[in-house]
Amino acid sequence: MGLSMESNLQGTLFVPALDDGQAAYEWMFRTREVVLQQSTPVRISFLFCKKLSPGAVAFIGGLIRLAESKQISVIVEWDTVIDETVLKFLRHNGFSEFFGGRSHGWDSHCIPYREDRFEDCNSVMDYLTDNWIGRGWLQVSERLKNAIAGKMWEIYTNSFEHGLSPVGVFSCGHHYSNKNELVLTVIDFGVGIAANVKDFLSSDPRSARLSSSACVEWALQRGNTTSNLNVARGLGLDFLRNFVVLNEGSLEIYSNTAHALINKDGVTVKEIESNFSGTLVQIKLQCDERLYSFKNEVNS
């Protein structure tokens, strides 16, 4: 099944194979719009789904909560999950427990699906410290793990503070042993970075003409912030950017019609065809100890 999207679901949303690439995310963003237009209950079918990324899991969970917040009922049809890999993935990362399916313990490579309606630093940091960085995939010192987890918190705090998501923040991750890669995706269903920047600059009527990609590029620069707290801000994304470059990982941001990719080759921000009212941040780290040293982490 391809990644086309019908505007009339006729009651059922068929989830295709969804990886963590741009085409898959653009399908999800279009799906968000379609689901929110439905006036009758939506059934989610995984009949044609042979692959799901942690980002797709976080997105689908968040979309269900968003639809529910708008009185649109969503039912996951668990008997349509016929692909064994997909079924195991949804059970092992805890998604099934949230949405009426059966739990199946916990796989050592899954980083659990989670929903955070409100900012709870200790709960998120326990998750990052114990379930994400602290699972032994990366043999680095405790102090270095703390430093890395601290950088991830910057993603969450940005989502809570700027996202204005009516349903909170959703995340899920995975350790891919074949690629030795650690992935975490964090999504809010708020207004998006470009919308925030335009609102911040709304005293200048030209702000309406600003493209999403140019706004995201501006937001990625050190010290730039839309915060109205009247103190210097805007360090979080800069910390993350330097960190992934040093560790040969990547940081991707989808927000409004912008897609930013940050890796060792630099920063690329471009316009995409779909519009996502919200912000999706996907970070990938290489689990190669040679890429980590405390001096480097601190100085990144």
Q: Provide the binding-site residues for other proteins, judged by CB under 8 A.
A: 119, 121-122, 125, 129, 142-143, 146-147, 149-151, 153-154, 157, 161, 197, 200-201, 203-204, 206-207, 209-211, 213-215, 217-218, 222-223, 229-236, 239, 269-270, 294, 297-299
Minimum distance from residue 186 beta carbon to other proteins (Å)? 15
Cβ partners under 8 Å of residue 56, min gap 6: 15, 18, 19, 20, 24, 28
Cβ proximity to other proteins, 23 vs 235, nearer residue: 235
CB 56 within 8 A of CB 24: yes
The two tokens of residue 144 are 């270095």
Shortest distance in whole angstroms from residue 40 CB to other proteins:
41
Query: CA-to-CA distance for 239 and 237, rounded, in angstroms?
Result: 5
Give 86 or 215: the residue with its C-beta nearer to other proteins: 215
Q: Which is nearer to other proteins, 125 or 246 (CB)?
A: 125
Q: Helices then strands (H, E): number in the chain?
A: 10, 8
Determine contact, residues 31/63, Cβ cutoff 8 Å.
yes
Q: How far is the CB of 125 from other proteins (least distance, A)?
A: 6
Instruction: Output the smallest distance, CB 62 to other proteins, in A.
Output: 22
The helix (H) or strand (E) run that includes residue 260 is strand 250-263
Task: Provide, rounded to whole angstroms, the least separation between the CB of residue 287 and other proteins.
Answer: 20
Would you say 28 or 283 has its CB closer to other proteins? 283
Given the structure tokens 């969970």, which residue do they identify?
61
